[in-house]
Structure 1
Amino acid sequence: MRTIVNLVLTTFLPLTIAAAAPPPSNGIHLPATYKHWQVLGVSHRDDNQSLRVIVGNTTAMMAVRQGDIDPWPDGTILGKLVWKDSRHPFWQPAIVPGELSHIEFMVKDSKKFPDTGGWGFARWVGMKLKPLDNDGGKPCFDCHKAAAKTDFVFTRPARLP
């Protein structure tokens, strides 16, 4: 019986996990391990009342620790997890994450994305992770041009003692 259970799990579990992955956005696949990445920074936007947690893959975090983010190295992936503002139910002055708005990723590959500053841009909307395809991320890059002096990245790593 144990052999049958193991056979079923090893055969069908990977198919279930693979089927759960959302379609790519702008040709970029949602990184499977992003929920385990380290936090690089946080931000709040007043204009659209949203909280953001910015995470980075191993390449990004090594670059941060080594002070090697100008420019960011190829292989860097930065993720931005965005929630609408919500008031804490027991402490009204506190803003906490509410409904998930979207998840965004910037992928640094200077050869693959030469027209967008070496970065690929991807976004998935809501809890259903509906992929946004927007002309290869060019509208995203148009906004990120304002951060050209920091390799098109707005986020500054949070400093710790």
Structure 2
Amino acid sequence: MTLRDSFLASLAMIVLPAVAHADTPEPSNSIAYPVGWQEWATIAVSHRTDNNTVRAILGNPIAVAAAREGKTNPWPDGAILGKVVWKSTTLEHWPAATAPGEFVHAEFMFRDSKKYAETYGWGWGRWLGQSQTPFNEGPQACIACHTPVKDRNWVFTEPAFFPEIK
């Protein structure tokens, strides 16, 4: 390898990670955007009739394992729960079905009982719209909504049953 090749390889190692993350949204409530959440597994789905939205509740591998094993009160440290929200719509060829329409936001709960001790063991982040603009109203906005489920480790979601085939 020539000195020039070595220099270009070194430059690529510095520049490519910055380019790869150039489109990563800014942090929400000082929490980094969880890159790769679109590949996480589903824990549950929900439909809110009060605001006409449908939601997919996703989890990182730690959260999915806890959900499948019923170890969710409390959720383990390292678990991340994601809620992806769309306005409800009906399908043209199946009007009885409720389906995702316009994307509303993606929000996440990051479980770390020590780091987030002041916010009940959870870090709270939300990114709005297709541009994933950070919602920086502070964790208290999230906590206020989740107070009715404080005895469920601040989580509304009931993990859905997934049959285990062996």
TM-score by length of 1: 0.89
CA distance in 2, matches of 1:70, 1:115: 18
What's the counterpart of residue 139 of structure 1?
141
Q: What residue identity is the alignment partner of 1:146?
A: P
Q: Encode CA deviations 1:55-102: one digit per residue, 9 max, x unaligned.
A: 000111121232211110111100000000111111112111111000
Give the 5 Å matches for 1:5-154: 12-135=15-138, 137-154=139-156
Change (3 A) 1:23 1:94: same
The count of aligned residue pairs is: 156
SS of 1:141's equivalent?
helix
Change (3 A) 1:10 1:115: closer
Q: Encode CA deviations 1:77-128: one digit per residue, 9 max, x unaligned.
A: 0000000011111111211111100000000111121222111110000000
Q: What residue identity is the alignment partner of 2:118?
A: D
Q: What residue identity is the alignment partner of 1:17?
A: A
Structure (1 or 2) with the larger CA radius of gyration: 2
* Superposition deviation, residue 9 in structure 1: 7.2
Q: What residue identity is the alignment partner of 1:38?
A: A
Residue identity over aligned pairs, in percent, reads 42
TM-score by length of 2: 0.87
